[in-house]
Homo-oligomer: A and B are copies of this chain.
Amino acid sequence: MARFGIIGAGLMGHGIAVALAQGGHRVHVHDRDPATLGSLDIRVEKALRLCGASEEESSRARDRIIPTPDLPDALRAADVVVEAVPERLSVKHEVIAEVEAVVSPRVPVWSNTSVLPLTDIGSAMRHPDRLVGVHWWNPPHVIPLVEIAPSARTAPELVSQVEDLLGALGKTTVRLHRDVPGFIGNRLQFALLREALHLLQEGVCDAATIDTVVRSSFGLRLASVGPMENADYIGLDLTSSILTSLAPGLSASSGPFSCLNDLLADGHRGRASGQGLLPWPLDRGDEVARRLIDGVRRNL
């Protein structure tokens, strides 16, 4: 079992900690915000309960997660460092400089970025060969996929180490041949989201209707048959004919996305503010969290 140091105790940081601790690893978690670090144990407990862990499993996993207010303390004994701080390049650079000042050059740094190019994150590093993109999906202790993106400078043996370690955790890993922003999964789901916003904008339907359509049609099969297999299944001739006919009318927008910007300008941020694309009465957040986990587990 390895010793991990995670920087960032937010949504992804705490979920990665749970996934690693459930696999028997020892995890020090640091966050520069004392409140975020202070709520870590409660959130860890809730995450374990939601995914159906027993009291005993839960207690064992929680014992392995150590909130650590001091960054060097969190990293001093780490075999692997996980960077899970917000997606701003300046923040990533700052944190990674602090990491390199503490740990030896042989300690790998896994970046959980999903949108920033690895090469940019590593540009200011003394040892960029130790940096690799390791992108988990939320919630990390439930969703099997982890995308691995080496930059052009990543040491090749590092990628195999990540695959072995995650494989032993029961994760499904895929390796990108090239480092692209959004990796594979986020590009696909944001391509879908862009078209959904386009349909709203064009007055074709409302937001709730879009969710009804997805949940009652192709959303029912994407856990069992992926888009490539489905294209072959219905036939590439039919696929090509539909795509060729639809593509010129699909959104090609590179932004701005006014229906999101208008909501944000009015203070509507979704779940957190009580209103977003859909209304969020008080209990909806917890209901969605449960529905999400139950729905995912049904398909595992």
Contacts and interface: CB of A to CB of B under 8 A. Distances in A.
Closest 8 CB pairs of A and B: A224-B295, A211-B226, A232-B270, A219-B222, A252-B252, A232-B276, A191-B195, A145-B216
A278 B232 contact: yes
Given A177-B204, A236-B269, A292-B221, A250 B187 contact: yes
Interface stretch (A20-28, A47-55, A157-165, A256-264): A256-264
Contact of A202 (B178, B217, B232): B178
B231 A270 contact: yes
26 contacts: A177-B204, A184-B213, A185-B213, A185-B217, A185-B218, A188-B214, A193-B231, A193-B239, A193-B243, A196-B228, A211-B227, A214-B226, A215-B224, A219-B219, A219-B299, A221-B295, A222-B223, A223-B223, A224-B292, A224-B295, A229-B278, A232-B277, A236-B270, A244-B255, A244-B257, A247-B254
A288 interface: yes
A270 B180 CA distance: 28
Contact of A246 (B177, B186, B236, B243): B186
A101 interface: no
Interface in A192-212: 192-197, 199, 202-205, 207-212
Q: Quick one: copies of this chain in the complex?
A: 2
A180 to B, nearest CB: 5
